[in-house]
């Protein structure tokens, strides 16, 4: 009886080890994809973009950013951007989740975010003059569609007038 229990435990252990090994192989295969670019782009990150400054380890002069953007109490300092973009119905500068990425060539440019574990495919969300408003991630399961939209620029306002860099008290007022 003791030998049967030992044999059963050994078989279960081997099944578990094989299942873990199988999961690693399939996840590695599914994460490697070759995609054609929407547009050719210089993938050199801008120093003033928070997506590259926060996630790639690119050195950004914190004193410069804090003195030009934030005052003593964390409020926006200086003038607001001359042109702003409103988020209306989930749409930012003609881009909305679920739209076909290729159809948005004017406002989306292929790029990457470097993470500690590797590179993440994104599309930079651009304003009319080519300035960065944020980035768009492709939809899970269908890389040709817009998925999550992340705003990194203070040029974009919500319907209530909230933007990147606003204080908590401003958020409470809205």
pLDDT at 41 over 90: no
Compute the distance between CA of residue 150 and CA of residue 22 in angstroms, rounded to an integer.
34
* 26 located within any domain: yes
| In-domain check, residue 37 | no
**pLDDT recorded at residue 22:** 53
Whether 54 is covered by a domain: the verdict is yes
Q: How do residues 64-88 score in pLDDT, each as one tens digit? A: 333 333 333 344 445 567 678 888 8
pLDDT tier for residue 123 given thresholds of 50, 70 and 90 = very high
Average pLDDT of the chain to the nearest whole number: 71
Domain that holds residue 3: 1-32
Q: Is residue 145 part of a domain?
A: yes
Pairwise CA distance, residues 42 & 126, whole Å = 14
Q: What is the pTM of this model?
A: 0.53
Q: Do residues 23 and 58 both lie within one domain?
A: no
Beta strands 85-86; 156-157: pairing state = parallel
Looking at per-residue confidence, does 49 or 107 come out higher? 107
- Most confident range (mean pLDDT) of 13-27, 48-62, 68-82, 147-161 is 147-161
For 113, which DSSP code? E
Query: In whole angstroms, what is the distance from residue 115 CA to residue 57 CA?
Result: 9
| Element (DSSP H or E) covering residue 133 | strand 132-139
Q: How far apart are CA 65 and CA 57, in angstroms?
A: 15
Q: 93 and 160: one domain?
A: yes
Claim to verify: residue 157 and residue 86 sit in the same structural domain: yes
Residue 56 has pLDDT above 70, yes or no: no
Question: Would residue 100 count as lying in a domain?
Answer: yes
pLDDT of 113 reads 87
- Does 132 fall in a domain? yes
- Distance between CA 17 and CA 131 in Å, rounded? 50
Total domains, the chain? 2
First vs last C-alpha separation in the chain: 71
């Amino acid at each position: 009886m003791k030998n049967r229990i030992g044999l059963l435990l050994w078989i279960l252990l081997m099944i578990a080890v094989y299942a873990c090994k199988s999961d690693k192989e399939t996840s590695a295969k599914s994460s490697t994809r070759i995609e054609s670019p929407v547009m050719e782009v210089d993938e050199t990150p801008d120093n003033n973009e928070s997506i590259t400054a926060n996630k790639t380890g690119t050195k950004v002069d914190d004193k410069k950013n804090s003195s030009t953007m934030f005052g003593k109490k964390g409020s926006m300092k200086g003038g607001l951007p001359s042109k702003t973009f409103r988020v209306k119905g989930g749409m930012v500068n003609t881009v909305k989740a679920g739209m076909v990425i290729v159809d948005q060539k004017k406002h989306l440019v292929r790029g990457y975010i470097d993470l500690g574990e590797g590179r993440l495919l994104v599309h930079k969300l651009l304003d009319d003059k080519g300035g960065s408003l944020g980035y768009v991630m492709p939809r899970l399961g269908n890389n040709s569609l817009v998925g999550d939209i992340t705003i990194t620029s203070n040029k974009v306002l919500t319907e209530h007038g909230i933007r990147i860099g606003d204080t908590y008290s401003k958020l409470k007022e809205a």
